[in-house]
């Protein structure tokens, strides 16, 4: 796996648009900020237009754990290679 000092590589599953992406996410940002950045990145690389929805949450797919929006990534259970789900 590729790892950078301040970022981790994760998969992001976005069932609303039936797509999955691999992205590096910074470990020193809040989950709320990561969710916003991921949605914006998906908008840029996806042909279809999707709304940036503030009512969605980010979950760890393997455990079903809902990630608190105010937590910083490095203080969560997210690990290199995890799949995160936007619901």
Report the sign of the C-alpha dihedral through residues 5, 22, 49, 51, in that order.
negative
- 25's CB contacts (< 8 A; 6+ apart) are 7, 8, 10, 34, 37, 38, 73, 78
- CB atoms < 10 A from the CB of 24, how many? 13
Q: 55 is in which domain, residue-wise?
A: 7-86
* pLDDT recorded at residue 52: 59
The per-residue pLDDT for range 46-59, each reduced to its tens digit, is: 656 565 556 889 99
Is residue 41 assigned to a domain? yes
Q: Looking at the 3D structure of the chain, how many domains does it have? A: 1
On average, the pLDDT of the chain sits at 87
The band of 1, judged by pLDDT with boundaries at 50, 70 and 90, is: very low
Q: Are 73 and 25 in contact (CB under 8 A)?
A: yes
Over residues 41-68, the mean pLDDT reads 80
Whole-angstrom Cα distance, residue 65 to residue 87? 12
pTM of the model: 0.84
Where residue 71 sits, what CATH number does that domain have? 3.10.20.90
Is residue 45 assigned to a domain? yes
């Amino acid at each position: 796996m590729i790892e950078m000092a301040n970022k981790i590589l994760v998969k992001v599953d976005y069932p609303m648009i039936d797509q999955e992406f691999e992205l590096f996410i910074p470990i020193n940002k809040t989950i709320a900020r990561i969710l916003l950045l991921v949605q914006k990145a998906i908008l840029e690389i996806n042909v279809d237009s999707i709304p940036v929805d503030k009512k969605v949450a980010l979950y760890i797919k393997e455990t079903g754990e809902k990630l608190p929006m105010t937590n910083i990534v490095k203080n969560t259970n997210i690990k290199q290679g995890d799949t995160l789900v936007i619901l």
